[in-house]
Amino acid sequence: MILMRLAVKIMGIMLLVGVVFAALTHVIASLRETRITNNTPPSGQFITDGDRRIHVQVMGAGPDLVMIHGASGSLREFTFDLAHRLKDRYRVVLLDRPGMGYTDRAARRFQKPLSRAAESPLEQAQMLQIATDVLGVNNPIVLGHSFGGAVALGWALSRPDDTAALVLVAGASQPWPGGLDLQYRLMDTTLGNLLIPPLVAAFTPHTVLHTAVKRVFAPEITPAGYLDHIGTDLALRRSTFRANAQQVNGLRPHVVDMSALYQTLSLPVEILHGTADVIVPLEIHSAPLARQIPGAALTVLDGVGHMPHQTAPEAVAAAIDRAAARAGLR
């Protein structure tokens, strides 16, 4: 009986410690998230749709060019360099995807901490189109990088008669063999989805972020000033970290369905992909995509990794100009 009471007391103490630690973790996470948003505030404007806000930034003038970023990112991915190269001849429309940067989730059901559901590429495209419609965007060239490539494809599939051209940069477009990294597998469990985001938000050191960015750029070097500009900490916020994991975990069945429709696309498509990309490999994604879309042009960038828009921006800008010319916009 004495041992039983002792065991109960120990369990009670452990439970209390766990509750206190969890509460403290959320407090630290909240304080850190406040610093993150103060250090990297919204750079554009908000367009509202009911109770949803879509963060958008517009630069320049000319034919409309919509740019959609990849996983864990924000529209700042393009304001570091590429958008400035193009604003002299395009109206560049930059968008935070749902749940990323400062754009809300597409629906409240995705916001629940225990939910593992996420917006499909098509749902993301349709939400972003609400913002571009308000801005009067007409017949745009749509560029998508990485995960944004799937969203750009969803955009074209949903509006084939009001999309001038596609430019896909290291885009995810096909079902892939094997599974995702351990981080994503853990986040695809109820317990992981509940516990991991606050721990990440509260305690992830900057060295871990820098290492992750280096891995994305490998074998190339992260450009000087890139980390400070894009605000990598934005991806650590609990809601953003959770949204990204949900979207990546849920992507594969959507690209399975979408890939059956790629052959119906008749608009100009320019595809760029590096031979050294191990995040979204060329041979799994862009090579078959170029065969599936009639008339698609594939530019293979030798030795380039997953970030051509940062490490080979001239090639990406040239592809955009080719797409505009093919679409009769220039």
CATH of residue 69: 3.40.50.1820
Q: Is residue 12 part of a domain?
A: no
What gap in Å lies between CA 252 and CA 83, rounded to an integer? Answer: 29
**307: its two tokens:** 């970030």
Q: Is residue 6 part of a domain?
A: no
The yes-or-no verdict on residue 10 having pLDDT over 70 is no
What gap in Å lies between CA 308 and CA 17, rounded to an integer? Answer: 48
Average of pLDDT values for 192-208?
Answer: 90
pLDDT at 53: 97
pLDDT at 116: 80
Contacts with 181 (C-beta within 8 Å, 6 or more apart), sequence order: none
> Measured at the alpha carbon of residue 230, what is the angle toward residues 152 and 280, in degrees to the nearest 5?
45
Q: Is residue 302 part of a domain?
A: yes
Phi, then psi, of 35 in degrees rounded to 5? -65, -40
Q: Is residue 24 part of a domain?
A: no
Q: Which of 129, 124, 66 is nearest to 99 (CA)?
A: 124
Q: Where is pLDDT greater, at 124 or 208?
A: 124
What gap in Å lies between CA 51 and CA 241, rounded to an integer? Answer: 21
Q: Is residue 311 part of a domain?
A: yes
pLDDT at 153: 98
Q: Is residue 213 part of a domain?
A: yes
The yes-or-no verdict on residue 4 having pLDDT over 90 is no
- Per-residue confidence band for 13, with pLDDT thresholds at 50, 70 and 90: low
Strand, helix or coil for residue 234: helix
pLDDT at 12: 62
Q: Are 171 and 144 within 8 A, CB to CB? A: yes
Contacts with 292 (C-beta within 8 Å, 6 or more apart), sequence order: 259, 262, 263
* Of 3-17, 31-45, 196-210, the least confident: 3-17
Q: Is residue 22 part of a domain?
A: no
pLDDT at 8: 54
The yes-or-no verdict on residue 26 having pLDDT over 90 is no
pLDDT at 187: 87
Average of pLDDT values for 55-83?
Answer: 97
- Per-residue confidence band for 202, with pLDDT thresholds at 50, 70 and 90: very high
**32: its two tokens:** 């850190």
Q: Is residue 132 part of a domain?
A: yes
Strand, helix or coil for residue 235: helix
pLDDT at 183: 82
- Summarised one tens digit per residue, pLDDT across range 253-274 is 999 999 999 999 999 999 999 9
Q: Where is pLDDT greater, at 245 or 18?
A: 245
| Total of domains in the chain | 1
Average pLDDT, the chain: 93
By percentage, how much of the chain surpasses pLDDT 90? 81
Contacts with 330 (C-beta within 8 Å, 6 or more apart), sequence order: 63, 89, 321, 324
pLDDT at 180: 82
Global pTM value: 0.94
In order of 122, 222, 258, the CA distances from 286 in angstroms are 19, 23, 14
- Per-residue confidence band for 165, with pLDDT thresholds at 50, 70 and 90: very high
What gap in Å lies between CA 88 and CA 80, rounded to an integer? Answer: 16
pLDDT at 186: 86
What gap in Å lies between CA 76 and CA 81, rounded to an integer? Answer: 9
Which residue range forms the structural domain that includes residue 181? Answer: 40-326
What gap in Å lies between CA 301 and CA 274, rounded to an integer? Answer: 4
Average of pLDDT values for 234-263?
Answer: 95
Average of pLDDT values for 128-140?
Answer: 97
